[in-house]
């Protein structure tokens, strides 16, 4: 995507200081989502970089679902949610991970996809990489093959990409 288009997309992302807690600069994507052209541009970008036929798009609760389901539809692939602990009703695998302010756990259904499935993992933001690293653990536990990690936004100062060196990482916007 041309740099001018990326700059235009960035202008649709609000910076909210001190949310959800003091000292955090939150990147609010809702203005981008409400603009049909800009939202389509984001999904089209992710489609354009997908070079393999993908079986499933895996995404992380909750904003990742917005991009994951649209991308799965555009690619003709299945959609697999990774949810916060206690939200999935069937047999599942769990993984705990550290946050800047505590710990969290995420889960995936044991039968989310068949062994050897080609998957893309997508989320809205790559920050420290802890959530996506835990998600990778769950996907690999089900013996799927990860063909890419996609993010709308990357916050390079938090060095999340460094934790994910063994995978192709694609981001659309950096702040």
**5 inside domain:** no
**81 inside domain:** yes
pTM: 0.95
Average pLDDT per 10 consecutive residues for the chain, totaling 175 residues: 87 96 93 97 97 97 97 98 97 92 92 97 96 98 98 97 97 97
**6 inside domain:** no
**Which pLDDT belongs to residue 3?**
77
Q: Which string of b and e fits 46-85 if b means at least 16 CB within 10 Å?
A: beeebeeebbbbbbbbebbbbbbebbbeebebebbbbbee
Catalytic residue among 63, 133, 161, 163: 63
CATH number of residue 139's parent domain: 3.40.50.2020
Domain range for 90: 52-174
**28 inside domain:** no
**43 inside domain:** no
**Which pLDDT belongs to residue 4?**
78
3-state DSSP helix/strand/coil % of the chain, to nearest 5 = 35, 35, 30
Count of all residues that appear for the chain in the document: 175
Catalytic residue among 52, 85, 100, 140: 100
Q: Classify residue 122 by burial, with Cβ atoms within 10 Å: 0-12, 13-18, 19+.
A: buried
**Which pLDDT belongs to residue 168?**
97
Please give the Cα distance from 9 to 106 (Å, whole number): 30
Segment (H or E) for 153: strand 145-154
Dihedral through CA 106, CA 61, CA 113, CA 92, nearest 10?
30
**Which pLDDT belongs to residue 1?**
80
**83 inside domain:** yes
**Which pLDDT belongs to residue 99?**
79
Give, in degrees to the nearest 5, the angle at Cα 72 between 4 and 106.
100
Q: Is 61 a catalytic residue?
A: no
**7 inside domain:** no
Q: At what angle do helices 63-75 and 36-49 cross, to 10 degrees?
A: 60
**Domains held by the chain: number:** 1
**Which pLDDT belongs to residue 134?**
98
**80 inside domain:** yes
Q: Is 163 a catalytic residue?
A: no
**Which pLDDT belongs to residue 27?**
96
Q: Which residues contact 155 (CB under 8 A, 6 or more apart)?
A: 27, 125, 126, 127, 174, 175
Please give the Cα distance from 31 to 137 (Å, whole number): 32
Sign of the dihedral defined by the CA atoms of residues 123, 34, 12, 20, in that order = negative
């Amino acid at each position: 995507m041309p740099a001018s288009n990326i700059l235009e997309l960035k202008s649709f992302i609000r910076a909210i200081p001190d949310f959800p807690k003091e000292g955090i600069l939150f990147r609010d994507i809702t203005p981008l989502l409400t603009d049909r052209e800009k939202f389509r541009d984001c999904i089209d970008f992710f489609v354009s970089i997908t070079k393999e036929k993908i079986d499933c798009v895996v995404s992380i609760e909750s904003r990742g679902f917005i991009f994951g389901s649209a991308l799965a539809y555009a690619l003709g692939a299945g959609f697999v949610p990774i949810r916060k602990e206690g939200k999935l009703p069937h047999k599942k695998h769990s993984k705990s991970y550290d946050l800047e302010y505590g710990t969290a756990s995420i889960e995936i259904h044991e039968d989310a996809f068949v062994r050897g499935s080609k998957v893309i993992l997508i989320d809205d933001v790559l920050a420290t990489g802890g959530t996506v690293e835990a998600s990778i653990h769950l996907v690999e536990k089900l013996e799927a093959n990860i063909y890419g990690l996609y993010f709308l936004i990357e916050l390079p100062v938090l060095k999340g990409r460094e934790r994910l060196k063994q995978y192709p990482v694609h981001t659309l916007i950096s702040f």
